[in-house]
Amino acid sequence: MADSKGAKRSSIDGDSFQDSKRLKMVNGGGNATTDPKYNKYLAHQYEDGQNQNGFQSPLDQFQRHQTTAIQAANAEDSDLNPWTNKPHSQRYFGILKSRRDLPVSKQRQEFLDMYHSTQILVFVGETGSGKTTQVPQYVLYDELPHQTGKLIACTQPRRVAAMSVAQRVANELDVELGEEVGYSIRFENRTGPKTMLKYMTDGQLLREAMHDHEMSRYSTIILDEAHERTLATDILMALLKQIAERRKDLKIIVMSATLDAQKFQTYFFNAPLLAVPGRTFPVEIFYTPEPERDYLEASVRTVLQIHASEPDGDILLFLTGEEEIEDACRRINLEVDDMIQESEVGPLKVYPLYGTLPPAQQQRIFDKAPEPLKKGGRPGRKCIIATNIAETSLTIDGIVYVVDPGFSKQKIYNPRTRVESLLVSPISKASAQQRAGRAGRTRPGKCFRLYTEKAFKKELIEQTYPEILRSNLANTVLELKKLGVEDLVHFDLMDPPAPETMMRALEELNYLACLDDDGELTKLGSLASEFPLDPSLAVMLISSPEFYCSNEMLSITSLLSVPQIWVRPNNARKRADEMKAQFAHPDGDHLTLLNAYHAYKGAEQGGGDVKQWCHEHFLSFRHLSSADDVRNQLKRIMETQDIELVSTPFQDKSYYVNIRRALLAGFFMQVAMRESSNSKVYKTVKDDQMVMIHPSTVVSSPYDWVVYNEFVLTTKNYVRTVTNIRPEWLLVCFLSLFVLPFNAQLC
């Protein structure tokens, strides 16, 4: 068989057109695509890997890891789709032509040569190079998954990217999405038995790895957007580095933007590097001569100046958060009205853009720029004022001017106080370049940096600190344990976190009895890692059958893992608060959440317009329905893990007491005690921090003891989402603190 392949190869190289004709004749009977007997996807069932009826595809001539670019291109040019044996559509050839124009296309052979010669490859490509769509297809034509039965995975940091790229590549390959090309993200798996190329979120691949430590389903794993350094990417990189040693047949491609390519190479045993140019337009950078004192004021001024004196083209301004953005929108709108009256400027439409904005309002940024005020007048333009969401997650075409004040809100974690918080901080050089690049997507653009060139060069750090250095790692450590990483200290992360952060995580997991005193995963810990939740929420959920309320804790856990369900628009705060009061439970916010959820489910069953109902009750339909998705997922995990789903009868007077007690099973470390009677100040039990109860609470009469869901550091130290508890309930928890780890060891 190998001989015949070798012999035919030259003819394929030389004349693919004839070859595809021959193909057609072989299939002359016309039943090849309809008769299941001829389904080439069953080919792997035959011993020699060949189809029994003698059907030949150009791919039969390919030898794994020896494919040439010409061979592959010829197969792509065939009349019949080599992957489906169906005729290629007209659209296919249209797309194929544009694919061949992508910068990466010129380097297909170079890529293949390098891919053949190495196990790990670092691939660097700027925006517009085509790497995300093309490289996985180049790999597909070389890995021949139909022969090996193994998949090619390509990971993305975000769900939308995984979905949209998979759709694009399915079109490019002329196949149905979900068949040969699919995607897998949380709540949605669009892959099937035929799937060969799978786009997925990096977190999803990590989840899979928990049950398949060797990632044995895959022949090639492509990590895309590795420069973003998400927590999941960082863990995957370290994991793959280990797996690569054990599985010499596994190929790994790490794809990244240019910056820091060397760091990736060095990290991956000096892996070879392939760089492909991007396709963007030049962007001229301007700096302020002097530092700006008030960047918000300077931003508004700059936008107005651009509008008054620069040729047409849309503006993108980066600010740090909702409040700032809405403020800037107001100020610009006011000023523009004056400008229009005083001079001959065109209309300017201002759009805010941030993550918590409802999707319909986010979509408005894609509206066309306004028409001139009168015929022949100066053209209108739009100005989008956005958070970091416009840096990576959302791309807006038509932006010609970028205004970059140089700040963003960043998560930081302080292991000493165990508090994660958001802080307005200067961005990195990489971030500044990314922002500037947003001006050159459709034509040459300009970027106005509201800081000096000296500050850019001397004060900005090269790269934003990777997430792993800015997070509480309790969840990560639990995951790593489940992934079979024995030695955390020598686990080779690209940027190892501070030892103190690791210690805090181990300590927290030990308190929760997820790790025993030797740092080994307990049965509880192993169970907890099955849930896509923070360890404390997972432990709370797992323990809830003991309190006869696992159905209710399932709901509360889901509600705590989605964004706030309470809607409180600035112009209707009072009415919103009144509506919330209808759901209020005297014993606290967790129970109030549950009430609102039950009312929502009731409205759903009532059969009316649930969206309308939510709107009237100032509840977020979006977040409630995503809580429902989470709940279904968690419920399935409960069922597969044989955790009982039980409730205390609602009439039973211990219904709510049981729930309150169950909260403590996961959150006994997050309890605060009133400092003195009549005081509004509380003290956390674990480390004596002075805190206040967040004003959003429904709790009106001050309780002596509360359990809280989170600690928020804003103008004051607040604890948010609190429920009244009795101190004697804690005794059981603290007792278990000493007893359980010991028990767990026995498990």
Binding site for DNA (CB under 7 A): 157-160, 185-186, 201, 203-204, 206-207, 230, 232, 320-323, 354-356, 387-389, 393, 408-411, 422, 475, 532-533, 561, 563-564, 568, 573, 577, 694-696, 712, 714-716, 718, 720
Provide Rg for the chain, Cα atoms: 29
Q: How crowded is residue 131: how many other Cβ atoms within 10 Å of its Cβ?
A: 28
How far is residue 360's CA from residue 357's CA, in Å, rounded to a whole number?
8
CB 336 within 8 A of CB 307: yes
- Least separation in angstroms between residue 693's CB and DNA is 10
- Least separation in angstroms between residue 262's CB and DNA is 25
- Least separation in angstroms between residue 561's CB and DNA is 6
Residue with tokens 């995503």: 626
How far is residue 597's CA from residue 602's CA, in Å, rounded to a whole number?
8
- Least separation in angstroms between residue 321's CB and DNA is 3
CB 558 within 8 A of CB 550: no
Nearest residue (CB) to DNA, 121 versus 719:
719
- Least separation in angstroms between residue 537's CB and DNA is 10
Reported in sequence order, the residue ranges of 361-498 that DSSP labels E, i.e. its strands, are: 381-386, 399-404, 407-414, 419-426, 445-449
Q: How crowded is residue 200: how many other Cβ atoms within 10 Å of its Cβ?
A: 24
Which of helix, strand or coil describes residue 718?
Answer: strand
Select from 219, 217, 183 the least CA-distant residue to 202: 183
Q: Which residues contact 378 (CB under 8 A, 6 or more apart)?
A: 312, 344, 345, 346, 372
How far is residue 256's CA from residue 276's CA, in Å, rounded to a whole number?
11
Nearest residue (CB) to DNA, 133 versus 464:
464
The two tokens of residue 551 are 């159905």
How far is residue 643's CA from residue 665's CA, in Å, rounded to a whole number?
15
Nearest residue (CB) to DNA, 24 versus 716:
716
Of how many residues is the chain composed? Answer: 747
How far is residue 502's CA from residue 30's CA, in Å, rounded to a whole number?
63
- Least separation in angstroms between residue 356's CB and DNA is 5
Q: What are the backbone angles phi and psi of residue 704, rounded to the nearest 5°?
A: -75, -35
- Least separation in angstroms between residue 564's CB and DNA is 5
First to last CA, the chain: 54
| 705-713 and 399-404 strand pairing | unpaired
Nearest residue (CB) to DNA, 355 versus 370:
355
- Least separation in angstroms between residue 409's CB and DNA is 3
Select from 349, 307, 353, 328 the least CA-distant residue to 405: 328
Select from 513, 520, 476, 514 the least CA-distant residue to 497: 476
How far is residue 471's CA from residue 231's CA, in Å, rounded to a whole number?
9
Select from 300, 325, 322, 330 the least CA-distant residue to 403: 300
- Least separation in angstroms between residue 393's CB and DNA is 5
Nearest residue (CB) to DNA, 109 versus 696:
696
How far is residue 637's CA from residue 631's CA, in Å, rounded to a whole number?
10
| 273-276 and 120-125 strand pairing | parallel
CB 420 within 8 A of CB 411: yes
How far is residue 409's CA from residue 397's CA, in Å, rounded to a whole number?
24
- Least separation in angstroms between residue 420's CB and DNA is 8
In one-letter notation, the amino acid at residue 657 is V
How far is residue 125's CA from residue 316's CA, in Å, rounded to a whole number?
24
The two tokens of residue 148 are 């090996």
